[in-house]
Amino acid sequence: MQLPSLVRERVEPSEPAKVSDAPASAPLQLGNRFIVDAVDKVGPAVVRIDTVKRVINPIGGLFGSSPSIRQQQGQGSGFITRSDGVIITNAHVVEGTNEVSITLPDGRNFNGKVLGSDPLTDIAVVKVVATGLPVAPLGDSSKVRPGEWAIAIGNPLGLDNTVTAGIISATDRTNAIGEGQRVPYIQTDAAVNPGNSGGPLINAGGQVIGVNTAIRQAPGAGLSFAIPVNLARQIAAQILETGRVSHPYIGVRLQALTPQLAREINATASKCRLPEINGVVIVEVLEGSPAEKGGLEPCDLIEQLDGKQVGNPTEVQLAVDRGKVGKDLLVRVRRGDQSLNLTVRPAELSRDS
């Protein structure tokens, strides 16, 4: 039985830091050169990120074979969102280092400092000391629809400023690259390769709609996934504000319920009596968790969160993600023949969890 990890969420600061200072401008009009125009608009703000990490060699120094600490080089992409040198990239691009080298398409090079990163959403913010840098306009990823144009810019395989194009294949892919994801990924068929990570996915209007972060290879083709820019903006704002990202949790383990699974549970578990429907059931409530304090119990069928229907674990996770630490979350559950309205107050997840 596949069980998602603990439900967590993001917290937006009451007064979020300024993530972007791109001037307001109307989206580009589609024409024969719309990809060229979109790339001209965003391309100057797409940077190459070079990293050098110190890695311990477990057999280093033995018999003089190799050094005990070696340097590991890496490369990725990012894009400038503020003219004073704020850059968004992937957390895995800068993992293990606090300083990076930033190279702009015009050849300028800067030393960059990693202000903070969030492994759960794979977003990081880098800062360079500069003024008047080109910036990439940020779009609204909530308006992205399958079938729209998608353009990726980055440095795949060390080839700087590579442009690929395709379409938006799907949105809200929460199960795209692993279990328990908290990111509703944008899926695209635009070619993305190692080195593209952290670079922008842009629309035909020359606006960033996502952060390219992962690929899944398949025979004859590949699938690419990007973090929606609205989420990236929220995480970046927290990093700029406090240097870290807060992830609350309620402390439950969930399972997608089907009529067949309900019949099996009803036949084998004396404490559970579940309706034979599709939904989401609580498998475990952690001791001392907000969920336990709020009265949630194993075998509860979650029907609504804050008045909105939920039908699977992913919808529960995303609903919790939209809340805040310490702010009451209204949960409607079905327990046996009763419908109960409970209140859960999410707590902050320990960074060591």
Residue 84 among the catalytic residues: no
Write down the catalytic residue from 117, 197, 224, 246: 197
How far apart are alpha carbons 130 and 138 in whole angstroms? 20
Query: Do you know the residue count of the chain?
Result: 353
What is the rounded distance in angstroms from the CA atom of residue 209 to the CA atom of residue 288?
39
CB contact set of 10 (below 8 Å; sequence gap of 6+): 121, 182, 231, 234, 235, 238, 245, 246, 247, 321
**176 C-beta neighbours (distance < 10 Å), count:** 19
**CA–CA separation, 220 vs 47, rounded Å?**
30
Q: How far apart are CA 171 and CA 274, in angstroms?
A: 31
Active site residue 197: yes
- Please indicate whether residue 247 is annotated as part of the active site: no
CA 170/CA 201 separation, integer angstroms: 14
Catalytic residue, chosen from 20, 117, 118, 122, is 122
Cα angle, residue 149 at apex, residues 160 and 196 outer, rounded to 5°: 25
Active-site pick, 5, 37, 84, 92: 92
- Catalytic positions are 92, 122, 197
